């Protein structure tokens, strides 16, 4: 085992945990179940999130089982539907022999069968498998393929073109012109792989074709639902932030960019109004009027609240108590002064009012500049205007003393002060008047309106109660303080109106529309972000999941596996591959062609090689080699590649000896027959020379090949049929005529008579003439000259002519004359005599004996 494989356990310690687990499972079980795959997928994702446990796993490639070689044997292809021009009624049988030759002329369907096999076996560069383009109706392209796997009972697969290749036939190798071109002109990786590299291939496959696709599918199952940023919004800052959302976007940024308040909305509304306003200066004036009305309303609120506040009501109650107390004291002191009163109620309020009015009339009208009451001799009562008696004078003086007493004055002053304080409480507006003020002050908040209405309701009740109750504790409840939170709203409203008025004044003074547009756009961008806040949070959560999956995909990268496998593959593959190539050159008698197989590079664990001219870097082999050399080199490269595999799978060749001379042709034939000793070899050809050579070489090797002939019929190509006589070897030709054709003719002669026998006999006579021609070409002249071959071949053949005797020539010449009569026109008066069965049998038996004797005849030396 190589040094690279010896330290594999240490190398794996540096790999991701999930990959170590996958390798360990493969070493133990050789195959992963669906449950194993799901477990590895979960482990990979956990490792990507940092949530995993480190395990100590051991790795020893000796735990790997060397794969058991599989043996495939193709049996037949049939029931072909709409594939090229193929439409055989019978299946094409490949026979039980390891060597099968399918012979057919141009257009017989050979290429169609090759194309089917390339697709069904998963060959490289398969091209398209077209339907019969000359037929209008399309059908599902399919055929039936029969084969045996490891000697198991025959499998019958109804294969559809759309289903891809058949897994069990993947090991079959096919050589055709396209394949040969690739082996000479392109880089190629070997199709076999040492079993020691199986673990790496399986791990690369798991990464590339299972885990990574599953992770990618999970990512695809997490599509972004984030709306596109509106084109009408041009805020670059917001657009850039929105476009750069990632799994790392912090929460505070979301709060910063997505926050939106009522104040923000008001600002946006104002900006929209400012931009829509045609006369900013008039709007400023209007706003100032509104502000004045709001200020006035605020002042009224404060005045009404203050006039009926706890403090003011307390003072009123104090004045009320003071006036009451002083009045009681004055009334007590005035008892003596009023004792001369003759009527009730003297000293009461109405009486005092009358007294004061009398004083006013006396001092201003009746007795100007005279102190009231005027009591001189000429004095009269200012009310009844009678003379004042001495008793009346005394009574009036007593009443004045009552009025002008100190206590009386204090009581009066206290009562006047109370009246003044009560009269200072302004008339409270009704609910209707309040609503009018709301409208004028642009106070639209219904809650605020309700609170103000409730306040005035309390104020009205308090004002009413002031005169009727004597204890402050009996007063209705009043909210505490004019600085209540809701009272701030109209104040802020006034300030805002002032601020807006100044903005409109500024708008009137300068052309700042662009500045306003930018500000408005910024607000609209923030508002839009606010509306998408939930979508943004969901997107960031999605991106976090995607990031985890992407990190998991990184853990499933195959770079390290590929590099390691490349190193091991170079140690295990390249020397063996080059050795096999050189051996194949020798097998094909082509080791004189100056080419080398060299390693070029490695890719995904595959070591790539290509053919190069020895000592020449500038030119490629395809530019220098002849057509024949090109073909023989490509066959050598193909065989060097595919013979390295463990599996005993079929080799399929499509006209492998095209364009090569007889030396290479014989070498290729020998190599193909040699290959068939261990594996099935199927050869498609249109060349009779190859068919003959294959039959001869197979006979020498003790192999009985399966020969199939395909042809084109009126219903389509690829129809299997009898091998044409011109393609048969003479001994088989003789046996066919004697054992089958002649026997059928005898039966017709004996049972149906001469007339029925005539056509069969005439056909046999014609075929005997063809047989004699084949014997002269292949046996007498040892195939030195063949009608279907341009060149004359003498090597190892010319010596066979020494067997020929004059008697041989006379015998064959006599037979040619006898049986040529049925091939040429004859006189009506002298028609050819029909040969009877016994005579035909005698001639054929004699010819067979001569043929066998000639082939065994010794060659006499000089």
At 103-147, the pLDDT tens digits run 888 889 999 999 999 999 988 778 888 888 877 777 889 999 999
Q: Are strands 99-103 and 681-685 parallel, antiparallel or unpaired?
A: parallel
Residue 336's pLDDT is 59
Average pLDDT over residues 337-365: 79
**pLDDT tens digits for 198-235?**
788 888 889 999 999 999 999 999 999 999 888 878 77
Residue 756's pLDDT is 86
CA distances from 193 to 12, 549, 580, 636, 650 (A): 21, 32, 14, 19, 18
* 534 occurs within a structural domain: yes
Residue 841 CB neighbour total at 10 angstroms: 17
* 326 occurs within a structural domain: no
Q: CB of 95 within 8 A of CB of 682?
A: no
**pLDDT tens digits for 170-195?**
889 999 888 888 878 887 777 766 76
Together in a domain, 483 and 600: no
Higher pLDDT, 510 or 541: 541
Question: Which range of residues forms the domain containing residue 346?
Answer: 335-404
- Phi and psi angles of residue 826, each rounded to the nearest 5 degrees, phi first: -120, 160
Residue 58 in tokens: 């051991």
CA-based diameter of the chain, in Å? 212
Is pLDDT above 60 for 697?
A: yes
Residue 830's pLDDT is 47
Together in a domain, 174 and 187: yes
Average pLDDT over residues 11-39: 86
Average pLDDT over residues 825-837: 63
Higher pLDDT, 39 or 784: 39
Together in a domain, 458 and 544: no
DSSP of 751-784: HT-HHHHHHHHHHHHHHHHHHHHHIIIIIISTTS
**pLDDT tens digits for 499-537?**
877 777 676 667 776 777 777 788 888 888 898 889 999
Question: Helix or strand or coil: residue 167?
Answer: helix
Half-sphere exposure in the Cβ direction for 120 (13 Å, CA): 25
Give 713: exposed, middle or buried? Use CB within 10 Å, 0-12, 13-18, 19+: middle
Residue 76's pLDDT is 94
Together in a domain, 241 and 261: yes
Together in a domain, 742 and 809: yes
Block residue for tokens 């047989």: 771
Percent of the chain with pLDDT over 70: 89
Residue 54's pLDDT is 64
Residue 38's pLDDT is 92
* 322 occurs within a structural domain: no
Average pLDDT over residues 656-683: 87
**Range with the largest mean pLDDT of 328-342, 476-490, 603-617:** 603-617
Interatomic CA distance for residues 19 and 210, integer angstroms: 13
Interatomic CA distance for residues 685 and 702, integer angstroms: 22
* 26 occurs within a structural domain: yes
Is pLDDT above 70 for 825?
A: no
pLDDT band at 682 (very low <50, low <70, confident <90, very high): very high
Interatomic CA distance for residues 223 and 501, integer angstroms: 49
Q: Give the contacts of 862 (CB within 8 A, at least 6 positions apart).
A: none
Instruction: Indicate the helix (H) or strand (E) that contains 402.
Output: helix 390-403
Residue 828's pLDDT is 47
Together in a domain, 7 and 99: no
Is pLDDT above 80 for 663?
A: no
Angle value at C-alpha 481, between 477 and 484, nearest 5 degrees: 105
Interatomic CA distance for residues 371 and 382, integer angstroms: 13
Together in a domain, 299 and 371: no
- Phi and psi angles of residue 240, each rounded to the nearest 5 degrees, phi first: -65, -45
Low-confidence winner among 73-87, 477-491, 741-755, 790-804 (lowest mean pLDDT):
477-491
Average pLDDT over residues 4-19: 78
Residue 326's pLDDT is 76
Together in a domain, 716 and 624: yes
Residue 4's pLDDT is 53
Is pLDDT above 80 for 45?
A: yes
Together in a domain, 830 and 761: yes
Among positive and negative, which fits the CA dihedral 213, 216, 218, 223? negative
Together in a domain, 274 and 287: no
Residue 347 CA from chain centroid, whole number: 107
Is pLDDT above 60 for 258?
A: yes
Average pLDDT over residues 45-69: 68
Average pLDDT over residues 574-583: 86
Interatomic CA distance for residues 79 and 543, integer angstroms: 54
Residue 73's pLDDT is 92
pLDDT band at 56 (very low <50, low <70, confident <90, very high): low
Together in a domain, 799 and 679: no
Residue 326 in tokens: 């002083």
* 771 occurs within a structural domain: yes
pLDDT band at 788 (very low <50, low <70, confident <90, very high): low
Average pLDDT over residues 320-340: 71
**pLDDT, the chain, mean:** 82
CA distances from 209 to 18, 21, 43, 517, 553 (A): 16, 17, 17, 54, 12
Higher pLDDT, 728 or 540: 540
Is pLDDT above 50 for 654?
A: yes
Is pLDDT above 60 for 268?
A: yes
Residue 733's pLDDT is 82
* C-alpha distance across the termini of the chain, in Å: 61
Average pLDDT over residues 422-447: 81
* 203 occurs within a structural domain: no
Among positive and negative, which fits the CA dihedral 204, 206, 211, 213? positive
Low-confidence winner among 26-40, 103-117, 132-146, 562-576 (lowest mean pLDDT):
562-576
Together in a domain, 640 and 711: yes
Is pLDDT above 60 for 1?
A: no
* 739 occurs within a structural domain: yes
* 474 occurs within a structural domain: yes
**CA-derived radius of gyration, the chain:** 62
Domain count across the chain: 6
Contacts of 283-290 with CB under 8 Å at 24 or more apart are 283/501, 283/504, 284/501, 284/502, 284/504, 284/505, 284/508, 285/501, 287/497, 287/498, 287/500, 287/501, 287/504, 288/497, 288/498, 288/501, 290/441, 290/442, 290/497
Residue 371 CB neighbour total at 10 angstroms: 11
Higher pLDDT, 415 or 222: 222
Average pLDDT over residues 774-784: 83
Q: How many residues appear in the chain?
A: 862
Question: Helix or strand or coil: residue 317?
Answer: helix
């Amino acid at each position: 085992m190589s040094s690279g494989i010896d330290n594999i356990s240490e190398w794996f310690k540096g790999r991701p945990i999930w990959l170590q687990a996958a390798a360990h499972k493969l070493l133990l079980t050789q195959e992963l179940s669906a449950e194993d795959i799901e477990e590895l997928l979960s482990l990979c994702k956990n490792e990507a999130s940092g949530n995993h446990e480190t395990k100590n796993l051991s790795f020893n490639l000796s735990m790997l089982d060397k794969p058991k070689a599989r043996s495939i044997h193709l049996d037949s292809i049939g029931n072909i539907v709409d594939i090229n021009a193929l439409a055989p009624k019978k299946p094409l049988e490949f026979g039980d022999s390891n060597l099968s030759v399918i012979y057919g002329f141009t257009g017989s369907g050979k290429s169609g069968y090759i194309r089917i096999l390339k697709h069904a076996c998963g060959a490289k560069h398969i091209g398209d498998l077209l339907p019969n383009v000359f037929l209008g109706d399309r059908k599902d392209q399919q055929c039936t393929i029969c084969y045996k796997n490891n000697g198991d009972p025959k499998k019958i697969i109804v294969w559809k073109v759309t289903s891809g290749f058949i897994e069990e036939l993947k090991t079959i190798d096919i050589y055709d012109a396209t394949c040969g071109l690739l082996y000479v002109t392109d880089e190629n990786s070997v199709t076999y792989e040492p079993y020691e590299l199986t673990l790496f291939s399986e791990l690369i496959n798991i990464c590339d074709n299972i885990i990574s696709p599953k992770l990618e599918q999970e990512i695809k199952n997490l599509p972004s639902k984030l709306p596109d940023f509106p084109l009408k919004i041009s805020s670059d800052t917001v657009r850039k932030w929105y476009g750069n959302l990632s799994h790392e976007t912090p929460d505070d940024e979301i709060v910063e960019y997505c926050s939106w308040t009522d104040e923000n909305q008001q600002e946006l509304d104002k900006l929209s109004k400012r931009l829509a306003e045609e006369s900013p200066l008039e709007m400023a004036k209007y706003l100032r009027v509104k502000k004045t009305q709001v200020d006035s309303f605020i002042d009224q609120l404060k005045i009404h609240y203050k006039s009926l506040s706890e403090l003011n009501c307390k003072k009123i109650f104090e004045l009320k108590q003071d006036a009451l107390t002083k009045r009681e004291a004055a009334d007590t002191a005035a008892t003596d002064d009023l004792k001369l009163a003759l009527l009730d109620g003297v000293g009461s309020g109405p009486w005092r009012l009358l007294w004061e009015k009398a004083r006013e009339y006396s001092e201003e009208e009746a007795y100007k500049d005279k102190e009231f009451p005027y009591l001189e001799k000429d004095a009269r009562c200012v009310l009844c205007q009678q003379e004042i008696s001495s008793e009346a004078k005394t009574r009036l003086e007593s009443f004045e003393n009552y009025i002008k007493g100190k206590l009386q004055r204090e009581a009066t002053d206290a009562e006047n002060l109370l009246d003044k304080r009560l009269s200072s409480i302004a008339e409270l507006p009704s609910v209707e008047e309040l609503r009018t003020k709301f409208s004028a002050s642009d106070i639209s908040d219904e809650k605020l309106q309700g609170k103000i209405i409730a306040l005035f309701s309390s104020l009205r009740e308090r004002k009413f109660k002031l005169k009727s109750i004597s204890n402050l504790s009996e007063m209705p409840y009043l909210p505490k303080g004019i600085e209540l939170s809701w009272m701030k709203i109209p104040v802020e409203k006034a300030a805002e109106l002032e601020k807006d008025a100044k903005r409109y004044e500024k708008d009137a003074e300068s052309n700042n529309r662009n500045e306003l547009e930018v500000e408005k756009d910024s607000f609209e961008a923030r508002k839009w972000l606010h509306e998408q806040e939930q979508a943004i949070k969901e997107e960031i959560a999605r991106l976090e999941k995607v990031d985890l999956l992407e990190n998991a995909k990184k853990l499933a990268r195959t770079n390290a596996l590929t590099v390691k496998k490349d190193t091991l593959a170079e140690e295990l593959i390249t020397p063996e591959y080059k050795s096999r190539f050189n051996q194949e050159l020798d097998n094909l008698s082509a080791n004189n062609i100056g080419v080398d197989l060299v390693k070029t590079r490695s890719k995904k664990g595959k070591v790539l090689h290509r053919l190069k001219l020895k000592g020449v870097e500038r030119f490629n082999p395809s530019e220098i080699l002849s057509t024949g050399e090109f073909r023989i080199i490509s066959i050598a490269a193909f065989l060097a590649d595919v013979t390295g595999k463990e599996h005993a799978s079929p080799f399929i060749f499509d006209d492998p000896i095209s364009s090569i001379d007889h030396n290479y042709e014989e070498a290729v034939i020998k190599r193909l027959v040699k290959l068939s000793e261990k594996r099935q070899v199927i050869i498609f050809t249109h060349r009779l020379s190859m068919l003959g050579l294959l039959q001869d070489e197979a006979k020498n090797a003790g192999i009985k090949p399966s020969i199939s002939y395909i042809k084109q019929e009126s219903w389509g190509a690829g129809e299997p049929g009898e091998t044409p006589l011109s393609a048969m070897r003479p001994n088989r030709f003789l046996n066919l005529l004697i054992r089958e054709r002649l026997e059928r003719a005898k039966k017709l002669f004996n049972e149906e008579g001469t007339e029925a026998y005539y056509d069969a006999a005439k056909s046999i006579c014609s075929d005997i003439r063809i047989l004699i021609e084949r014997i002269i070409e292949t046996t007498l002249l040892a195939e030195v000259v063949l009608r279907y071959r341009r060149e004359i071949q003498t090597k190892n053949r010319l010596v066979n002519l020494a067997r020929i005797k004059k008697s041989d020539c006379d015998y064959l010449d006599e037979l040619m004359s006898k049986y040529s009569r049925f091939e040429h026109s004859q006189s009506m008066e002298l028609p050819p005599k029909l040969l009877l069965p016994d005579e035909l049998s005698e001639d054929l038996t004699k010819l067979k004996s001569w043929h066998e004797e000639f082939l065994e005849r010794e060659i006499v030396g000089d």
